[in-house]
Structure 1
Amino acid sequence: MAIKAIAVDLDGTLLNSSKQVSARSCNALLRAHQLGLKLIVATARPPRAVEMLLPEALKRISAYIYYNGAMINCSHSQFTYHQAIDSTLSARILSFIMQEPNADISIEVADQWFTISEFDASVVQAVGGEPILKSLEEMQTVSPSKIIAAGLNNWRGLVEQFGDEVNVLVTDQGQLVQIAHLQVSKELALQRLCDVYSIGLDEVIVFGDDTNDIGLFEACGHAVAMGNAIPELKQLADEVTASNDEDGVAIVVERLTAALAHS
């Protein structure tokens, strides 16, 4: 099956360790777009962070999957999607997490970032934008796109209690817990975009490095794990490329575009 779209994760994949997209990777993706391939950025990050991190040239041609699939935006097709967690369920989850005194909690609500306590400057810079301080009671009244908990010791208990009601994603060796609506995932979001484009998931090449890319690797036609990817992802991959600091995405995309140009 011919490849018609590229789905790429950001952190640990398209972004290098300096949180930048190299000129080589940017040019490779631009060339792929010139040859007719769709470009889909699929990330856990919010829109404002993606806006801050991507080069202008890529922003103009990309469709976006944010919050691991809770939000989708494709301006070229006038397609948008947002699936939030019900406020009643979110309130129960927040109360559970608050039982741990050292847990840092924040929620994302359609590109607004709410926190119970202040984060240090490095976290603010990484996430993008200034957080809005809210009390627990205030946060329990809204329907979040995503709940984020860091420093959560009992994340297994959280999965056990709420795993049937929400999608609980544990990344960064258990240091970061991301909670979304039960029907939210990168692969479900990608399926929605593919339906808009009238292409199949088997016509998508995907690049990733972490747990939240597993579903994409299982669903897409060709899966490429970064050299720095977790072992589980490498086992699922059709191929393993170089690391995110060695232009791993560009290496494969250049090979793909060379084949397309001569076909």
Structure 2
Amino acid sequence: MTSPIESSLPARPRLIATDLDGTLLRDDKTVSERTVAALAAAEEAGIEVFFVTGRPARWMGVVSDHVHRHGLAICANGAVVVDLRAGGGVGEAVMVRGLDPDAALDVVQALRDAAPGTSFAVEKTTSFDHEPDYPPFVNDPGSHIAVAEKLLQEATDKDPVIKVLANHPTLAPDAFLTLARTAAGHLASFTRSSPTALLEISGLGVSKASTLALCCAERGISSDEVVAFGDMPNDVEMLAWAGSSYAMGNAHPDVIAAASGRTVANNEDGVAVIIEQLVARARDALQVPDTD
């Protein structure tokens, strides 16, 4: 792959929005020393950093040791915004955009009809529960196991549903996503970030992009001042919204089509490569010309 095209970088970016898995993180789920240094340099140059991920807030420990002053995370594909610097290392939710349980029940029924064999899990702000046939995550031992309809009926205002996950054992991932959007796209937002047929279902209109736009509006930051990074379909809307965006060298074809540029793969520190160029430009812009 050719090197990233430096001329495509904005002269004065104000915010970096980066996905985690397959993007900022290496395949072993570590953050390289080069990337840690690049994130810190961005903040020192006055460029804010947001982590924007499909992960739930409770899985954000992977970056907790590398937060420095950048501590805002948009989690669960835009359903929750967390300040990682608060909450005793777990983070403190500062915005929740939940999935209405009645709408989720309609989605479950629509997918049961359209794709028999689908199993479901329910992500809440404090718990992750799933059906008996749903493949459990090793990160979530002790989940409550019941049919999705019962799990959704147990949701409360204090513990709202933020995401429903749907798994199919035989369908191709992209085919399952297309099928689900056709069957229930009027009820909720559908995306995916797994290499398997695992769909992530959020409230209608909730996405990484829409929540990032809300957070930027609160700060007076326009989309043209944002640089975004991603690798999977749940990043597509964010990359299309940002003024400058980069698909990783390991990105899904839809992500490559949506982004304005490309960088090298996550295992080659593709995010750090671009940030280093951004920081160099920001420093050059602040230099006072020699008047001698």
- Normalised by the size of structure 2, how large is the TM-score? 0.80
Aligned to 1:185: 207
Structure 1: state its 5+ residue gaps: none
State the secondary structure of the residue aligned to 1:228.
coil
The answer to whether 1:105 aligns with 2:120 is yes
Aligned to 2:95: 81
Q: In 2, Cα distance between the equivalents of 1:253 and 1:55?
A: 20
The Cα shift of 1:92 comes to 2.2
Question: Kindly tell me: are residues 83 and 120 of structure 1, through their superposed partners in 2, closer, same or farther at Cα, counting changes over 3 Å?
Answer: closer
| Native 8 Å contact 2:55 2:77 kept in 1 | yes
Structure 2: state its 5+ residue gaps: 1-9, 87-91, 286-292
Question: Kindly tell me: are residues 90 and 59 of structure 1, through their superposed partners in 2, closer, same or farther at Cα, counting changes over 3 Å?
Answer: farther
Aligned to 1:31: 41
Q: In 2, Cα distance between the equivalents of 1:71 and 1:6?
A: 18
Per-residue CA deviation, residues 174-203 of structure 1 (Å, 9 max, x unaligned), is 611111111201111111111121111110
Per-residue CA deviation, residues 74-121 of structure 1 (Å, 9 max, x unaligned), is 478998221212111212222344566643311111142111227667
State the secondary structure of the residue aligned to 1:117.
coil
Moved more, 235-244 or 93-102: 93-102
Aligned to 2:288: none
- Normalised by the size of structure 1, how large is the TM-score? 0.88
Q: 1:58 aligns with which of 54, 67, 87?
A: 67
Aligned to 1:6: 16
Aligned to 1:116: 131
The answer to whether 1:175 aligns with 2:200 is no
| Native 8 Å contact 2:120 2:148 kept in 1 | no
Question: Kindly tell me: are residues 236 and 195 of structure 1, through their superposed partners in 2, closer, same or farther at Cα, counting changes over 3 Å?
Answer: same
Q: In 2, Cα distance between the equivalents of 1:97 and 1:135?
A: 14
The answer to whether 1:72 aligns with 2:86 is no
Per-residue CA deviation, residues 20-73 of structure 1 (Å, 9 max, x unaligned), is 1111111100111111111101111100111x2114231652211111111113
Aligned to 1:90: 104
Aligned to 2:229: 207
The Cα shift of 1:136 comes to 3.4
Moved more, 248-257 or 146-155: 146-155
Q: 2:53 aligns with which of 39, 43, 50?
A: 43
Question: Kindly tell me: are residues 94 and 235 of structure 1, through their superposed partners in 2, closer, same or farther at Cα, counting changes over 3 Å?
Answer: closer
Q: 1:198 aligns with which of 215, 220, 229?
A: 220
Over the aligned positions, Cα root-mean-square deviation in angstroms equals 2.5
The Cα shift of 1:172 comes to 3.9
| Native 8 Å contact 2:40 2:68 kept in 1 | no
Q: In 2, Cα distance between the equivalents of 1:233 and 1:204?
A: 17
Aligned to 1:149: 166
| Native 8 Å contact 2:23 2:230 kept in 1 | yes
Q: In 1, Cα distance between the equivalents of 2:85 and 2:222?
A: 19
Which structure's CA Rg is the greater one? Answer: 2
State the secondary structure of the residue aligned to 1:207.
strand
Question: Kindly tell me: are residues 239 and 229 of structure 1, through their superposed partners in 2, closer, same or farther at Cα, counting changes over 3 Å?
Answer: same
Question: Kindly tell me: are residues 136 and 237 of structure 1, through their superposed partners in 2, closer, same or farther at Cα, counting changes over 3 Å?
Answer: closer
Q: In 1, Cα distance between the equivalents of 2:148 and 2:258?
A: 40
The Cα shift of 1:205 comes to 0.5
Q: Give percent identity, aligned residues only.
A: 27
Q: In 2, Cα distance between the equivalents of 1:83 and 1:117?
A: 27
**Amino acid in the other structure paired with 1:83:** R
Q: In 2, Cα distance between the equivalents of 1:11 and 1:257?
A: 23
| Native 8 Å contact 1:13 1:207 kept in 2 | yes
Q: 2:251 aligns with which of 215, 223, 229?
A: 229
Count residues with an aligned counterpart.
259
